[in-house]
Amino acid sequence: MSSPEKNITEEEMKVVHKHTCQLDKWILASGKAMSLLFLLSAGIIMIEIIARYVFNSPTFWVHETTTLLCAICFIYGGSHCLARNGHIRIGLVYDAVSDKVRRWLDIFISFMGIIYSITMAAAAWIMMQKALYTPWGEFRMETSGSAWDPPLPAIIKTVLFLILVVMLVQFVLHLLVHVRRDTNA
């Protein structure tokens, strides 16, 4: 599985691939649970419809709650897509090339994903810090400013940062697998 010039043992390759697979499996399994948030969101909207049109008593928390739940699901979608190897690539080109070229394309995609994840995580870190702390350093979660005023912006920005860190780890593990992959086997 490994070539002599790489000095990588088959056992090392198995360890890297195992960690990549374990993380991807965990993300995919968690994705099934995360999809229930969409169902919960739909249920909450149904409660709002009944409260508003049957009892003439609209709520003030439904819009922000469903926005939070759906935002978390959409943010998680990037990591889930990467775990499924379902990211966007030009299939017409990718499927037409040899395994060796495909390996190089996978390395390029993973490398660009690392750069993207680092850049986005750095920006998300700044947003998260501003959402969690006042300019003088006191912990205070940013709120929505509505009548209900929950700390949903701080929660969403924190989840965004955490998911981008997970995606960074995924891209690094995928890069290691692609770099160590033998196309001659």
Model confidence pLDDT, tens digit, residues 90-134? 778 888 888 888 889 999 999 999 999 999 999 999 999 999 999
Count CB neighbours of 66 within 10 A: 19
pLDDT tens for residues 13-44? 455 566 678 888 999 999 988 999 999 999 99
CB atoms within 10 A of CB 40: 14
Q: Is the pLDDT of residue 3 over 60?
A: no
DSSP tag of 15:
H
pLDDT > 90 in the chain, percent: 61
At 50, which helix (H) or strand (E)? Answer: helix 10-53
Position 61 confidence tier, pLDDT thresholds 50, 70, 90 = very high
The alpha carbon of 125 is separated from its chain's Cα centroid by a whole number of angstroms, namely: 15
Q: What are phi and psi of 133, to 5 degrees?
A: -130, 145
Q: How far apart are CA 110 and CA 175, in angstroms?
A: 5
CB 178 within 8 A of CB 21: no
Lowest mean pLDDT among 1-10, 113-122, 159-168: 1-10
Helix-then-strand count for the chain, H and E: 5, 0
Q: Which of 104, 86, 74, 83 is nearest to 169 (CA)?
A: 83
Cα separation, 72 vs 13, whole angstroms: 33
Looking at the predicted structure, is the pLDDT value of residue 2 above 50? no
- Across the chain, mean pLDDT equals 87
Question: How do the domains of the chain map onto residue ranges?
Answer: 4-180
